[in-house]
Amino acid sequence: MKHLAILVLFCLPGCSAHPLIGAERKEDSSTALVQQYLENYYNLARDVKQFVRRRDSGPVVKKIREMQKFLGLEVTGKPDADTLAMIRKPRCGVPDVGQFTTFPGTPKWRKTHLTYRIVDYTLDMPREAVDSAIEKALKVWAEVTPLTFSKIYEGDSDIMISFVVGAHGDFFPFNGSGNVLAHAYPPGPGLDGDVHFNDDQLWREDKSGVNLFLVAAHELGHSLGLFHSNDPTALMFPVYNALTDLTRFRLSQDDVNGIQSLYGSPPVHPDGPAVPTESAPPGPGTPAVCDPALSFDAISSLRGEILFFKDRYFWRRSHWNLEPEFHLISTFWPSLPSGLDAACEVNNKDTVFVFKGNHFWAIRGTEVQAGYPKDIQTLGFPPAVGKIDAAVSDKEKKKTYFFVEDSYWRFDENSQSMEQGFPRLIVDDFPGVEPKVDAVLQEFGFFYFFSGPLQFEVDPNTRMVTRILKSNSWLYC
């Protein structure tokens, strides 16, 4: 086989913690565990005898030192408590020797648009939750490269994703719920690039089981050509970290450096609006980005960027550019009005909806979609609603929230209808948020409510305010 699969191993808590004491004693489970670990991941020859007392330069000791150095442990050459604890943690099964950020031979995709297909789903999670986790995992890599991904529903794709059990036709069988989580293959034709998840595991959106997003993001890194990192903070570190803060997940710089060594940095505006020849020139009446009294008319994400609208201008902020850009709205969308009331991106439609008065428009990139503007009453609002103050679409739940004065409505993107029981008062469901909302943004697992020069960070699970910040803090002020 051209490439070994990448395996995520999970050692049962029942693994022994006895010390390793020498070949003259009966091999205990810890000795066997270290020996197998060195054979699997550090190229220790399988015929090397077990640990020999009073030798500090034999092949096993050298391999232990090599392992400890790679994993960031104290280099003792001994299977001490810290080393044994690290060995028992979940990890990928590809060897660590070589210290590559990419696979030997540097395999990579020779194109920037890749297709993926979920061939078989797990029954542990709703299908839409699986789709969302995979989409989110791919977005992690898309945001820092020129790569784009699209899902297909039949035929062959570049990356085929399956939930399987036991032997499944690739010579790397899974062995139940307590060992291997998943494996993946480096870029290439056929089986290469594919990801297999062990469906004997309990897959979950949160940490009540195996977190699908976290494993998928790591495995898809391998599918794109990344090997392992010896940076413990990296997603591609070989040891699986179930304690990762999912609400604030970010690739480490080491992950970014690795993937960009294969595919380069993202274009200035990946998959988004074309770059205008010039930014908007400053002049009389031009809003100052770091004015402490600055407020926004509307805010929306757009394909990994964030747009902040004010009067006839907008700033665009990206994760890879620390200097926000300032443009005229008309440079990108000549038919849109200035002084927008609200805007929001609906991810599953790859569309940003912008609102002014009782009309709204749909835009994709630089194109305003045909058939717009439409009347907001077509969304299900009563005639008494003449304008919308703010809007935000919940990417995970596929619900769009519309804020009007001191109340809000909720729209179901699946049924394309306004939900019953609304409007509700903002103060009842989001206590601590100012009742007059200018804009709302969803990022990092939080909602950010903008009201005048302030923004309120809200945990969607508790619906409580966790921080109050200046509105322009997103623009590095």
Looking at the structure, tell me whether residues 444 and 335 fall in a common domain.
Answer: yes
Looking at the structure, tell me whether residues 204 and 147 fall in a common domain.
Answer: yes
Q: Does the pLDDT at position 272 exceed 50?
A: no
The pLDDT tens digits of the residues spanning 204-245 come to 998 888 899 999 999 999 999 998 888 888 898 877 777 888
pLDDT for the residue 426: 92
Please list the active-site residues: 219
User: What's the number of domains the chain is made of?
Assistant: 3
pLDDT for the residue 58: 75
Looking at the structure, tell me whether residues 353 and 225 fall in a common domain.
Answer: no
pLDDT for the residue 226: 92
Domain holding 73, by residue range, is 9-89
Looking at the structure, tell me whether residues 144 and 254 fall in a common domain.
Answer: yes
Q: Does the pLDDT at position 279 exceed 80?
A: no
pLDDT for the residue 17: 36
Looking at the structure, tell me whether residues 377 and 471 fall in a common domain.
Answer: yes
Asked if residue 62 belongs to a domain, the reply is: yes
Q: How confident is the model at residue 13 (pLDDT cuts 50, 70, 90)?
A: very low
Looking at the structure, tell me whether residues 235 and 326 fall in a common domain.
Answer: no
Q: Does the pLDDT at position 424 exceed 90?
A: yes
pLDDT for the residue 83: 87
Distance CA 238, CA 235 (A): 8
Looking at the structure, tell me whether residues 67 and 157 fall in a common domain.
Answer: no
Distance CA 278, CA 268 (A): 13
pLDDT for the residue 79: 87
Q: How confident is the model at residue 39 (pLDDT cuts 50, 70, 90)?
A: confident
Three-state secondary structure readout of the chain: CCCCCEEEECCCCCCCCCCCCCCCCCCCHHHHHHHHHHHHHCCCCCCCCCCCCCCCCCHHHHHHHHHHHHCCCCCCCCCCHHHHHHHCCCEECCCCCCCCCECCCCCCCCCCEEEEEECCCCCCCCHHHHHHHHHHHHHHHHCCCCCEEEECCCCCCCEEEEEECCCCCCCCCCCCCCCEEEEECCCCCCCCCCEEEECCCCEECCCCCEEHHHHHHHHHHHHCCECCCCCCCCCCCCECCCCCCHHHCCCCHHHHHHHHHHHCCCCCCCCCCCCCCCCCCCCCCCCCCCCCCCCCCEEEEECCEEEEEECCEEEEEECCEEEEEEEEHHHHCCCCCCCCCEEEEEHHHCEEEEEECCEEEEEECCEECCCCCEEHHHHCCCCCCCCCCEEEEECCCCEEEEEECCEEEEEECCCCEECCCCCEEHHHHCCCCCCCCCEEEEECCEEEEEECCEEEEEECCCCEEEEEEEHHHHHCC
Looking at the structure, tell me whether residues 117 and 156 fall in a common domain.
Answer: yes
Which range among 68-77, 170-179, 190-199, 417-426 shows the weakest confidence by mean pLDDT? 170-179
Looking at the structure, tell me whether residues 145 and 257 fall in a common domain.
Answer: yes
Asked if residue 277 belongs to a domain, the reply is: no
Asked if residue 102 belongs to a domain, the reply is: no
Strands across the sheet with 159-164, in order? 91-92, 6-9, 180-184, 195-198, 159-164, 113-118, 148-151
Q: Does the pLDDT at position 11 exceed 80?
A: no
Question: How much is the mean pLDDT over the chain?
Answer: 82
Looking at the structure, tell me whether residues 124 and 183 fall in a common domain.
Answer: yes
Q: How confident is the model at residue 82 (pLDDT cuts 50, 70, 90)?
A: confident
Looking at the structure, tell me whether residues 134 and 56 fall in a common domain.
Answer: no
Looking at the structure, tell me whether residues 181 and 41 fall in a common domain.
Answer: no
Q: Does the pLDDT at position 282 exceed 80?
A: no
Q: Does the pLDDT at position 1 exceed 90?
A: no
The pLDDT tens digits of the residues spanning 439-460 come to 999 988 889 999 999 999 998 8
Give the percent of the chain with pLDDT over 70.
Answer: 83
pLDDT for the residue 28: 56
| Mean pLDDT (whole number) for 118-142 | 94
pLDDT for the residue 25: 44
Looking at 73, 89, 105, the residue that finishes a domain is: 89
Asked if residue 273 belongs to a domain, the reply is: no
